[in-house]
Amino acid sequence: MSRDPQLESVLGRGYQHGFVTDIESDTVPPGLDEETVRFISAKKQEPQFLLDWRLRALERWLTMKEPHWAGVNYPPIDYQAISYYSAPKQKTEGPKSLSEVDPQLLATYEKLGVPLHERARLAGVAVDAVFDSVSVATTFKERLAAAGVVFCPMSEAVRTHPELVEQYLGSVVPYGDNFFAALNSAVFTDGSFVYVPPGVRCPMELSTYFRINAAKTGQFERTLIIADRGSHVSYLEGCTAPMRDENQLHAAVVELVALDDAEIKYSTVQNWYPGDARGRGGIYNFVTKRGECRGRNSKISWTQVETGSAITWKYPSCVLRGEHSVGEFYSVAVTSNRQQADTGTKMIHLGANTKSTIIAKGISAGHASNTYRGLVSVMPGATGARNFTQCDSLLIGPDCGAHTVPYIETRNPQAVVEHEASTSKISEEQLFYCLQRGLSEEDAVNLIVSGFCRTVLRELPMEFAVEAQNLLAVSLEGAVG
């Protein structure tokens, strides 16, 4: 394949599916400069502070270089060939019923056990035609409002809660943090905003499932979650079914802030389109996720199950500033076919008696490569800090690879940092044992893999855990034999 068509498929988002927006001005031509940023900000009717912030981000981004230290390979991306604003698709542009949806996609949903109405939603069928989304969304909003929880699209929060956005946006991931974060800061179009007031325990799991109006957010999402003193919130991100998203480059930023005694649990099941068996197509997932335990006794917990994307570059991290704060990272990253994942976490211990736990499980099959890259950093003030890290890799077949790259920096002699790592293969003995009990080879592999991931999967909210397990099964289909 020559480079041009390949590049085109990487960059030609929005065009390859041939939809044309009704109004010319809802799509900007490809390219990124000050005008693009002003256009986006004006479209969103943003306050001046945000426009200024975006422009500073752009200015910084123009001086930055794309990072290439991660263990991933991909053809160069021409950032000037991407269109940075496209109005959300109208409902009428999607398929009108399930009969118009790719049967292969529906078969996968069925295997995952996604309910029928949700399959339709995931496949992009106009929601109103399928079930009464309005009533679901309304009940949900009423319950949250009664508790004082703000949960809305970022673009709405910018107008309804500008003071919170101004105070917290970029306070964990500054616009100049890294190349992709700077790009996101300049051009982000939407995402989620959550604010939980002091002492409130959010009455339900917040999930993008319910945020129906923002289901079509683009490739540069921006999410900000603030848990005020003594509050508690659990947020579920992503959908558990394979989304054939037309986006190719996905550069999101997620910021979490936990104040005194607050707790945020952030769970992700990521299953973007991984490309086909020969490595064509798929999402480049370059995401910056970071939480700051700003207050005493605060806690941030990241749990992720990553099975999708052609390339994953993602390090959900915790800055443990408050004394006695706790950071956790539980991860399962699955790569098969030609997928590449470079993922891990950073735990930055600033406050005294801060604790962090890292459990990372990498699974590789086919020709995939899987790298765990992690940093545990203990600063001089972090007396009594403790970290426990465990990285396990499981290889399926002879052609895949797994790498573990742990960095440990300790500038406090009293810190306790423990690291354990293992690499194993699914043994012939285990496989034969399961076959001898009548399981098919596929079921046997799934069983062994889910056992391997158990310590992470049990961190997921219950209903999510079941779907994640099904997802692992689908991802590894045909990985053996």
In the complex with other proteins, the residue whose CB is nearer, 19 or 433, is: 433
Counting contacts by CB under 8 A, is residue 481 touching other proteins? no
In the complex with other proteins, the residue whose CB is nearer, 113 or 380, is: 113
**Binding marks (x or -) toward other proteins, 369..408, rule CB under 8 A?**
----------------------------------------
Using CB under 8 A, pick the residue from 126, 204, 447, 480 that binds other proteins.
447
For residue 277, give the DSSP letter: T
Using CB under 8 A, pick the residue from 200, 448, 471, 473 that binds other proteins.
448
In angstroms, the CA 429 to CA 357 distance is: 32
State in angstroms the smallest separation of the CB of 460 from other proteins: 15
Using CB under 8 A, pick the residue from 450, 461, 466, 480 that binds other proteins.
450
CA distances from 406 to 334, 371, 374, 418 (A): 19, 10, 5, 11
Backbone torsions φ then ψ of 444, nearest 5 degrees: -65, -45
Q: What is the DSSP string of 176-209?
A: TSSHHHHHHHHH--B-EEEEE-TT-B-SS-EETT
In angstroms, the CA 120 to CA 108 distance is: 12
Q: What is the CA radius of gyration of the chain?
A: 22
Q: Contact, 210 vs 242, CB < 8 A?
A: no
Span from 28-36, 249-257, 331-339, 449-457 in contact with other proteins (CB under 8 A): 449-457
Residue found by looking up tokens 């426009």 in the block: 51
State in angstroms the smallest separation of the CB of 434 from other proteins: 7
Counting contacts by CB under 8 A, is residue 113 touching other proteins? no
In angstroms, the CA 43 to CA 51 distance is: 11
Counting contacts by CB under 8 A, is residue 451 touching other proteins? yes
What single-letter amino acid sits at 320?
L
In the complex with other proteins, the residue whose CB is nearer, 90 or 440, is: 440
Per CB under 8 A, contacts with other proteins among 453-472 are 453-455
For residue 117, give the DSSP letter: H
Span from 206-214, 380-388, 408-416, 446-454 in contact with other proteins (CB under 8 A): 446-454
State in angstroms the smallest separation of the CB of 365 from other proteins: 18
Q: Where along the sequence are the contacts to other proteins (CB under 8 A)? A: 427-430, 432-441, 443, 447-448, 450-455
